[in-house]
Chain A
Amino acid sequence: MSGLISQVPDPAPSAGAGWLATLRHEAAAYLHARGFPGKKHEAWRFTSVREIVETTFAPEPAERAAPAALDALGDDGTWRVAIAAGRPWLDGAGAAPDGVTVESLADALARDPAALEGQLGAGVAAQDFAALNAALFTDGLVVRIRAGADVTTPLHVVHVATPGEAPRAAYPRVLVLAEPGSRACVVESFVAAPGGSARHLTNVVTEVAVGANAHLEHVRVTEGTDRTVQLASLGVRLARDARYASRVVTLGGALSRLDLFVRFEGAGAEALLDGVYHVDGQDHVDHHVRVDHVAGHGTSRTRYRGLADGRGHAVFDAIGVVHRGAAGSAVHQENRNLLLSDAATVHTKPHLEIDEDDVAASHGATVGALDEAQLFYLRARAVPLSEARSILTFAFARAVLDGIGHAPLVARTSEALLSRLPEGAALRGGLSA
């Protein structure tokens, strides 16, 4: 056996094993029975994983690259902990802010496995690449925000990929538990260390549970390179009156795929799902957002903006499902894309499945070029063409970036986007201020 599947242990019947062993066995069995998704799967129609599936990845060695990558991020006023090679580097992180406990997932499972039963695996079903993670993860993080805590310092999990000379992979898993009445901001960044020539796969699953009346902002920034492959799943469960604001920023990558699942389990919850993505060169970025309104009176707003340049390829797919009984739900989806070159491609498909009468729903998608009149206006004011293009491109994306609740993070993500735009360096500081 070769390729990715060769990494997955053969499922053995496991009588009387604990819930975690069962989860792993079922995931492995799923993969051996079904294989990895191909082009015939509707959800993978525009994203080919054939090359990745055929690659044999070695586990990433636990090198000491994490602290250097953290330093490279500069000070953004967050409390930071790195995850590299699938395990957390807590010793360098210092004490977590008041009201928060952060623990290695492996330690938490060793200490009290029952405490995570019904949490781990509840946000993301073990299918496709989430099954791969379920079968192979060894460590990760458990972030717990205690009931009623009002945490002002953002909690920042930095995933560091260190590509080598042969293909490497890491399978981290993150669990965020925002207990009732709490308020916090969690940031996940995905960065790559310089060097290496082979592909690096990050197959990550993040599961978030937002408790009753809790407020959680979740910023997720990926800075991809031509070596990074990210196959990520993020599952969010919302209890009664919970508030969840997601800001996804995906900047390129050989392949950056995110499956975001949001489930309204309690009545009266609200989810704001914002995203911005940029592709250039040979980048391939794919976002799949699925929102399930199971309980009523919930509101979800999905609002993604895309920028496609070079020979880049961007895929956006959103589905909003209102289940019978989820009366009073409101589902809104919007995806706008700027096509910046002839060779770039955008596929967009926001859609709705509604099984309930009392619902407000809307969806819209646009794909278009930069406004010629605006470009001309800028040029008539002596702004060179390529700079004018970048100014308008950045302006299109910043509606989402400005929504991030922590100013230094707005600045950091803005800078990261600008640095990818032609003449963007010249615009830094001025525009992102």
Chain B
Amino acid sequence: MLKIENLHVRVGGTEILKGLSLELGAGEVHAIMGPNGSGKSTLSYVLAGRDGYEVTEGRVLYDGVDLLALAPEERAAKGVFLAFQYPVEIPGVSNVYFLKAAVNAVRKARGEKELDAIEFMRFAREKAKLVALDAELLKRAVNSGFSGGEKKRNEVFQMAALEPRLAILDETDSGLDIDALRIVSDGVNALRGPDRAMLVITHYQRLLDYIVPDRVHVLVDGRIVRSGDKTLAGELEARGYAELGG
């Protein structure tokens, strides 16, 4: 589904990704781990289409299509979803209104019928249950005044509503306590399916006890230095990145 080939990316003149390659098939969940500054967030932003990330070499194919040529909203419409490491606050725009606009924009692009207000509320309440999101938060402005944990749950809630084919979770576990981590992981696991691929980026090995990946990749200094099955995460915990980076 997703094929990244020899990807080189510069940010503000500095090369961050230095030839990253990765292949992710439908139904698979891959984890990417790495120390601070290894390029994890750069990878997620490049895949979602943020400006300011200059691809100098390599390519990214999504269902055979050149993903990098698409605008962010086109990628979203084609089923690419990024759960942000730092979800953005949008004052004044209610969470449910925002999501309705997003869901309908995506549905429209897919040639599906747009949901009216009543249909959407029913749909949203259903999805909110998945991550035990308080119904009050649906009415509040997008991420405004949400706690860190609520923001992360809101991301997974949006993911459930937008039903992506490729989900990139950028440090969705950061800042969560053990109870919140369980809720978020259960939500993510419920969304696993044969047609959906997930790329789970994390700083903390603990997440992979809850979302068990098919493959684990270790990202150090802009390159994947090792790949393996889930036992690799445990090895990392014990030995640290430095040893594996060599």
A and B, direct touch (CB closer than 8 Å): yes
Within 297-349 of A, Cβ neighbours of B (below 8 Å) are at 297, 299, 328, 330, 332
**Chain B positions within 8 Å of A215 at CB level:** 177
Interface of chain B, main secondary structure: loop
How many cross-chain pairs have Cβ atoms below 8 Å apart between A and B?
44
A242–B175 Cα distance when bound, in Å, is 6
Number of interface residues of B (CB under 8 A): 17
**Chain B positions within 8 Å of A330 at CB level:** 89
Within 171-192 of B, Cβ neighbours of A (below 8 Å) are at 174-178
- Do B89 and A241 have beta carbons less than 8 Å apart? no
- Do A243 and B177 have beta carbons less than 8 Å apart? yes
**Assuming the A-B contacts A213-B175, A268-B85, are A243 and B204 also in contact, with contact meaning beta carbons closer than 8 angstroms in the complex?**
no
- Do B177 and A183 have beta carbons less than 8 Å apart? yes
**Assuming the A-B contacts A181-B206, A270-B147, A270-B148, are A241 and B174 also in contact, with contact meaning beta carbons closer than 8 angstroms in the complex?**
yes
- Do B89 and A360 have beta carbons less than 8 Å apart? yes
A240–B203 Cα distance when bound, in Å, is 10
A419–B175 Cα distance when bound, in Å, is 38
Of the listed residues A213, A269, A272, the one surrounded by the most CB atoms of chain B closer than 10 A to its CB is A213
Min CB distance, B106 to chain A, in Å?
A: 26
A212–B36 Cα distance when bound, in Å, is 12
- Asked if A150 is at the interface (CB within 8 A of a chain B CB), the reply is yes
**Assuming the A-B contacts A243-B148, A270-B148, A299-B148, are A328 and B86 also in contact, with contact meaning beta carbons closer than 8 angstroms in the complex?**
yes
**Chain A positions within 8 Å of B86 at CB level:** 268, 297, 328
Q: Is the interface on chain A under 10, 10 to 19, 20 to 34, or 35 or more residues?
A: 20 to 34
A413–B113 Cα distance when bound, in Å, is 55
- Do B204 and A213 have beta carbons less than 8 Å apart? yes
A241–B171 Cα distance when bound, in Å, is 10
Query: Which of A148, A241, A328, A360 sits near B91, CB closer than 8 Å?
Result: A360
**Assuming the A-B contacts A181-B204, A299-B148, are A213 and B91 also in contact, with contact meaning beta carbons closer than 8 angstroms in the complex?**
no
A231–B15 Cα distance when bound, in Å, is 51
A150–B178 Cα distance when bound, in Å, is 8
Min CB distance, B40 to chain A, in Å?
A: 13
Of the listed residues B86, B144, B176, the one surrounded by the most CB atoms of chain A closer than 10 A to its CB is B86
**Chain B positions within 8 Å of A212 at CB level:** 203-204
Task: Name which residue of chain B comes closest to A269, CB basis.
Answer: B175
**Chain B positions within 8 Å of A360 at CB level:** 89, 91, 144
**Chain A positions within 8 Å of B175 at CB level:** 213, 241-243, 268-270
Min CB distance, A242 to chain B, in Å?
A: 8
Within 141-171 of B, Cβ neighbours of A (below 8 Å) are at 144-145, 147-148
Min CB distance, B144 to chain A, in Å?
A: 8
Task: Name which residue of chain B comes closest to A266, CB basis.
Answer: B36
* 25 sampled A-B residue pairs with Cβ under 8 A: A148-B206, A150-B178, A181-B204, A183-B177, A183-B178, A212-B203, A213-B174, A213-B176, A213-B203, A240-B174, A240-B203, A241-B148, A241-B174, A241-B203, A243-B175, A243-B177, A268-B85, A268-B86, A268-B174, A269-B175, A297-B86, A299-B148, A332-B145, A360-B89, A360-B144
Counting from the closest, the 4 A-B pairs by CB-CB distance are: A241-B175, A241-B174, A297-B86, A270-B148
Could you list 20 further interchain pairs (A-B, Cβ under 8 angstroms) beyond the known A268-B86, A270-B175, A360-B144?
Answer: A181-B204, A212-B203, A212-B204, A213-B174, A213-B175, A213-B203, A213-B204, A240-B174, A240-B203, A241-B148, A241-B203, A243-B177, A268-B85, A270-B147, A272-B147, A299-B148, A328-B86, A332-B145, A360-B89, A360-B91
